[in-house]
Amino acid sequence: MGLLDNKVAIVTGAASGIGKAAAELFRREGAIVVATDAMEADGVSIVDAGSESEVEALVERALAEHGGIDIVFANAGISGGMAGIFEQSADDWQEILRVNLIGPFLAIKYAAPHMKARGGGSIVCTASVAGLRAGAGGAAYSASKAGLISLVKVAATQLAGANVRVNAICPGLIETGMTAPMYEWARSTGRESKIGRLNPMKRGGQPDEIAAVALFLASDAASYVNGQAIAVDGGLSASHPFSIQDYGRTSA
C-alpha cells in the first residue's frame, strides 16, 4: 500500500524540478495526480498558477474528473533573479508576487472548501529559506516567500476545525531549472565543490529530497503537523553566519 492510495492531488509547477519529482513520487505512492505548469510537458496541463480564473477552473476540473481533492502541492514559483531592491521595478515585484504569493493564496481559496466538505486534506506550499532570512534570494523573491510563510500560518488558523492542514516547505539550494545557471557556471569554472559550502551538509540538495518532505506533509503521517514552515536546507538556516575557525576545529 502507498501513503497516498486513492488520494487526489493537484501539483503545480510540475513540469520540472521539485514539482516533477513530487508528482512522480505521489503517483508511486498511489495518488491520482493532476499535474500543472505554465510550461508544456508530457502529462502536464498548462495552467497559470497566478491566474484566479485558471486556478478556479483547475479545481473545478479536478472535482469533475476525480470527484474531490485531498492534496494540493502549491509549488509553482519564479525567481526573478538576484536583482536588488534598487534594480527592480514595481512591475517586476507584481509579477513575482502574483505567481509566488497570490498563486498559493488562490490554491488555498478554491481548494480548501472542497477539502473541508470531503472531510479534510493537506495543502503544502513551496516557500524558501529566502523567506526566513536575507541573503538567499533576490529582494522580491525573498519577500514573496516570507509572505507565503505568513499565509500558511494564517490559513491554517482560519481553517481551524476543517481538518485541512496547511504547511510550507522552505528549500535551501536545490538543483532545479531555476538554479541551473548557477550550477552550470560552477561546473564550467571548476567551482562545483563550492556549491552548498555554507551549510553543514556541504552540498546542494536534489528535487527528490524536497519531494520526500512534500509526501510526508501530504500524507496522514503528518496528521498533527499544521501551520509550519519546515526548512529543508542541509542545516543552512540552523545558525547565523560564522567561520569554522571560530570553533577552534575543522572536524568532529
Amino acid at 182: M
Handedness of CA 107, 75, 12, 122 (dihedral sign): negative
Judge contact between 72 and 8, C-beta under 8 A. Answer: no
Verify whether residue 110 is a known catalytic residue.
no
Reduce the DSSP state of residue 220 to 3 states and report it.
Answer: helix
Residue 39 DSSP one-character state = S
Handedness of CA 123, 128, 133, 139 (dihedral sign): negative
Judged on CB neighbours under 10 Å (0-12, 13-18, 19+), 5 is exposed
Residue 179 DSSP one-character state = T
CA distance 228 to 169: 8
CA distance 136 to 204: 13
Q: What residues have CB less than 8 Å from 40, skipping those under 6 apart?
A: 15, 46
The one catalytic residue in 110, 141, 224, 247 is: 141
Q: What residues have CB less than 8 Å from 68, skipping those under 6 apart?
A: 8, 62, 114, 118
> Which phi and psi angles does 211 have, rounded to 5°?
-60, -35
Judge contact between 42 and 141, C-beta under 8 A. Answer: no
Q: Which residues are catalytically annotated? A: 141
